[in-house]
Amino acid sequence: MKIDKEILKEAFSKLATAKALTEIYEEHFKTTSKYVHATSRGHEVIQLAVGMQLNPQDYVFPYYRDDSILLGLGMTPKDLMLQLHAKKDDPFSGGRTYYSHPSLRDEDKPKIPHQSSATGMQAIPATGTAMGIQYKELENIPHTENQTEDFELPVVVCSLGDASVTEGEVAEAFQMAGLKQLPILFLVQDNGWDISATKDEIRAQSAYEYIKGFKGVEGITIDGTDFEKSYSTIQKVFKTMREERRPFLVHADVPILNHHTSGVRMDFYRDDLEEHQKDDPYPKMIELLKNNDISDSEIEAIELLAKLKVKEQYQEAYEAEDPKPEDLFTHDFAPTEITTEKGERSPENGEEAVMVDCAIHAIEEIMQKHPESLLYGQDVGKRLGGVFREAATLAQKFGDNRVFNTAIQEAYIVGSTVGMSAVGLKPFVEVQFADYIWPGLNQLFTEVSRSYYLSNGKWPVSMVLRVPTGAYGSGGPYHSGSSESVVCNIKGLKVVYPSNGADLKGLMKAAYYDPNPVVIFEHKGLYWSKVPGTKRATSIEPSEDYVLPIGKANIVQEIWKQDEEETISIITYGMGVHWAMNAAEELGLQNQIEVVDLRTLAPLDMETILKSVKKCGKCLVITEEPTENSFAGALTGKIQEACFKELDAPVMLLGSENMPAIPLNSVLEETMIPSTEKVKKKIQELLEY
């Protein structure tokens, strides 16, 4: 296949630019190494072959050695170097993240959702993007506003180093891509090194051999230094993907000619430098140009121009403005429209509904209205509708495309939402138990929670993660746990934890309409008010238009300020609300105990909390979690700091015992977790203090 001369010249120009970038960074090593960076030297040709053939409707997930992909997309050296120097006008992140960690949402260029620095972790978000594209096509949701007949359907490229393919999460992505026949290309660049470990030390096979185990993904291996071969292979692959909508893996052998990063220098540990030098794509490219009747002088002119441009733009980028201290505080959360409680919380002829039904009905109402909403997770599909029947009937009503089962892949369930959200969808996903959120935490932390902030406001992740949580009677050590402290510790997430059906419904709606990721803890013991003393979890079901803004606590038992009585403000959430209400009632102290239901754990409604504590003079924080290093423990400290002068007793904390797990045996379980009785005792202690 003959490649157009102009394309060759363009490719060479970009290759020369990439080489010049590496050279100028080394030349100014003392300056440029302030912030760690890696360049594509050796990998340029395969990267350009991909970057130059992507359309604006496509999505690409480059990793940190992919500066030539960025040049291929049309980014200028200055764009890249503004990020190298972490400048305010860095088009990707505003100086928030490293060189060649792009996020791009320009109208005229392929889209790049936020790229983290955790290798291999982009595989799941990228596959999620392809899954989102497929979903839209199956639901007949257009990719663009005026989508015509000849519109080239979008593809997704996920770029990986071969060493990162050994990571488990990459397997989840391959599995789903093959299973669902998603339009994704896994571009694997194989330079034989994993920083200082060689391929012989870290893998049993290359990505090309590995992908043979994933049915439905077609694998191709090529010489990634041969532009002609690379360009034509990618061209063919893209064409097939756009037409046949199926996944590929292209494995490209390349040398690594620059340092692993500016901080890990090749001369220190490598003995194969000369060998790799032989595979330099640069002279091969010049050879190709010459073979295509491009003159030496023209080649030289291209080279010279590239160097000059880089030199000039280096200075411009270096002298550009740094971010201001106040720039730290933007784009933590995208603004939401749901700021006030609206609709009828207790409609006149409303029916009582258990909490789990409030959740199902909320999702059902949303799905009826919004084709971009969908729900997936383990066992939520048609046959079961969730192990707690928390998704019951939804698949029957909305079909298998919109409500479907996933594999036991918490990482995929959580991380795929980044891609879903990138293409404009709004997924509800769930992990089956809070006890199993752990494999999903990596995606939640490295990808979901930071996307909006590190893309400097370009890529909010709109998703709702449902997490059935809490002890509900002999659930044992792997089905009774709570994990809100860990989740609340991840900034960039909103975390809600309702204690009753009406709140759950209102918050589920707010979470859906929120452009940010929302984790919603749903207590299994409250789902049906089955656990004794949880009648209050069942409520009149709010109206269809009812929304409850995230971040608003609720005073479920309000008292007057009483100077001559000892009064307590109980700050709690979830099951704690029920223990507190029951305890106050059994003690006959409803007039002395105020109960604040946080409803949202992040962001916290400190205003309501502090007002209540200052009014009451004493405060008890109740959590179902073990107390040490917990969300609730941190809250007591915050209250103490803000209310010190208003306190007539230390802020007290009641939670589970600080043991590693909730044991199976019911006696041990009761001993482990709080109860109405334990709360009563604590109330007495605090009143008498």
Partner 1 sequence: MSKTNKNIEIRLPKLGESISEATIITWLVEVGDIVEKGQALLEVATDKVDSEVPALENGKITAILTAADEVVKINQVLATMEVSDEVKTKTPKKEILVEPKITAPDPMPVKKKKKEILVSPQASGKTTILENRNDNRFFTPLVQKIAIENHISYEELARIPATGKDGRLRKSDIFKYIKAGRPAQFVQTIPEAVEKEKSAQGFQIPDLKLDKGTGKIVELDRMGQMIAKHMVFSKIASPHVTAYVEADMTDMVNWRNAHKEKFQEKYGERLTFTPLFVQAVAQAIKEFPMINSSIDGNKVIVKEDINIGIGAALPSGNIIVPVIKNADKKDLQTLAKEVNELVDKARNNKLNVDDTSGGTFTISNVGTFGSLMGTPVINQPEAAILATGSIKKRAEVMEYEDGDKIEIRQMMYLCLSFDHSYIDGFLAGSFLKKIADNFEDFNADKKI
Residues that bind partner 1 (CB under 8 A): 563-566, 617, 644-649, 688-689
- Angstrom distance (rounded) from CA 269 to CA 195: 10
Q: 125 preceded by cis ω (within 30°)?
A: no
Residue 144: closest CA among 58, 73, 60, 70: 58
Specify the residue, 379 or 566, whose C-beta has the smaller distance to partner 1.
566
Name the minimum Å distance from CB 651 to partner 1. Answer: 12
- Distance from chain centroid for Cα 218: 28
Residue 562: closest CA among 445, 499, 648: 648
Name the minimum Å distance from CB 650 to partner 1. Answer: 9
Name the minimum Å distance from CB 571 to partner 1. Answer: 17
Q: Using an 8 Å Cβ cutoff, are 251 and 222 in contact?
A: yes
Name the minimum Å distance from CB 687 to partner 1. Answer: 9
By CB neighbour count within 10 A (0-12 exposed, 13-18 middle, 19+ buried), where does 641 fall?
exposed
Specify the residue, 53 or 592, whose C-beta has the smaller distance to partner 1.
592
By CB neighbour count within 10 A (0-12 exposed, 13-18 middle, 19+ buried), where does 74 fall?
middle
Give me 379's structure tokens.
């066992």
Name the minimum Å distance from CB 657 to partner 1. Answer: 24
Vertex 277 angle, CA 275 and 283, to 5°: 135
Name the minimum Å distance from CB 354 to partner 1. Answer: 41
Name the minimum Å distance from CB 649 to partner 1. Answer: 7
**At 160, which helix (H) or strand (E)?**
strand 156-161
Buried/exposed code over 237-276 (b: 16+ C-beta within 10 A; e: otherwise): bbebbbeebbbbbbbbbbbbbbbbbbeeebeeebeeeeeb
Specify the residue, 469 or 612, whose C-beta has the smaller distance to partner 1.
612
Residue 370 is a catalytic residue: no
Specify the residue, 268 or 644, whose C-beta has the smaller distance to partner 1.
644
Which residue has tokens 């208003």? 646
313: helix, strand or coil: helix
Q: φ and ψ at 520, to 5 degrees? A: -120, 110
Specify the residue, 324 or 645, whose C-beta has the smaller distance to partner 1.
645
Beta-ladder partners of 540: 352
Sequence-distant (6+) residues with CB within 8 A of 399 are none
Specify the residue, 603 or 650, whose C-beta has the smaller distance to partner 1.
650
Beta strands in 415-531 (DSSP E): 426-430, 464-469, 494-496, 518-523
Name the minimum Å distance from CB 644 to partner 1. Answer: 5
Vertex 203 angle, CA 202 and 209, to 5°: 160
Catalytic hit among 276, 331, 479, 523 = 479
Specify the residue, 329 or 644, whose C-beta has the smaller distance to partner 1.
644
Among left, alpha and beta (phi > 0; psi -120 to 50; other), residue 153 is beta
Name the minimum Å distance from CB 682 to partner 1. Answer: 13
- Angstrom distance (rounded) from CA 583 to CA 590: 9
The tally of CA atoms less than 13 A away on the side-chain side of residue 32 is 23
Specify the residue, 129 or 567, whose C-beta has the smaller distance to partner 1.
567
Specify the residue, 86 or 610, whose C-beta has the smaller distance to partner 1.
610
End-to-end alpha-carbon separation of the chain, Å? 86
Specify the residue, 344 or 566, whose C-beta has the smaller distance to partner 1.
566
Name the minimum Å distance from CB 361 to partner 1. Answer: 45
Name the minimum Å distance from CB 568 to partner 1. Answer: 11
SS3 of the chain: helix, strand, coil, percent, to 5: 45, 15, 40
Specify the residue, 332 or 566, whose C-beta has the smaller distance to partner 1.
566
Q: State the Cα torsion 297-302-307-311 to the nearest 10°.
A: 120
- Angstrom distance (rounded) from CA 353 to CA 539: 6
Active site residues: 479
